Amino acid sequence: MNTSIVTTTRQYVYKECKKKINIFGMNAYNHHFKSVVMYAKELAIRSGADLEIVLLAAWLHDIASIKGEYEDHHIKGQIYAEEFLQKQNYPQDRINQIKHCIHAHRGSKAIERQTIEASCVCDADAMSHFNTISSLFYLAINVRKLDATKANEFVKQKLQRSYSKLTPLGKEIINEKYLAAMKVL
């Protein structure tokens, strides 16, 4: 695995998260991205996926969101990722694999995961929600402008949807956190 490209990508995402256009603030980096990468790595190792592809896609999966393009971030993120990786002279065939992972990671869209790497990133993104429940409340209250009762229901439904879309391995890893979150909410 090329750890240099993974480090460079992590640094790029960190820099982008610090920009004022990122409405999610550094929570996006400190909580969401790091959590996604942690779960993506575990899933890749346990499933035999290409770890480098999974880690790069995990770092880049929400790059469009932090650049202010949330609605179609799974589409526009592919463009940002490709531009960044091409500047790093990364092989195009591997860029294409990462682009698929970014496109397919969005759980709210019915996009077929064509590779085990895409499944790892999609699962990791959904699993990260259980580590970042406070960030989901931030999204509900500050971005979606929901009152407390509706915010609680939004978070609960988001976690239920996230869990229901996981692969069996993802469910196995996150099950205890899911059950605890449902009791609290």
Q: What are phi and psi of 167, to 5 degrees?
A: -70, 165
How confident is residue 109, by pLDDT bands cut at 50, 70 and 90? Answer: low
CA angle at 117 for the pair 112 and 120, rounded to the nearest 5°: 85
* pTM given for the model: 0.89
The answer for residues whose C-beta is within 8 angstroms of residue 20's C-beta and 6 or more apart is none
Which pLDDT tens digit goes with each residue over 110-135? 777 889 999 999 999 999 999 989 88
* CATH classification of the domain holding 178: 1.10.3210.10
* Number of separate domains in the chain: 1
| Interval 170-178 mean pLDDT | 96
pLDDT tens digits along 143-167 = 889 898 999 999 999 999 999 999 9
Q: Mean pLDDT of all residues in the chain?
A: 91
User: How distant, in Å, are the alpha carbons of 10, 19, 25, 79, 143 from that of 1?
Assistant: 15, 30, 30, 23, 38
Contact 103, 58 (CB under 8 A): no
Instruction: Provide the H-helix boundaries in the chain.
Output: 3-17, 27, 34-47, 51-60, 63-66, 73-87, 92-104, 116-128, 133-138, 148-164, 168-184
Structure token digits, residue 1:
């695995």
For the segment 49-66, the average pLDDT, to the nearest whole number, is 95
Residue 104: domain span: 3-184
Give me the pLDDT at residue 132, please.
Answer: 83
The pLDDT of residue 108: 64
pLDDT value at position 11?
Answer: 97
The predicted model gives 12-21 an average pLDDT of 92
- Residue 88 region, left (φ>0) first, then alpha (ψ -120 to 50), else beta? alpha
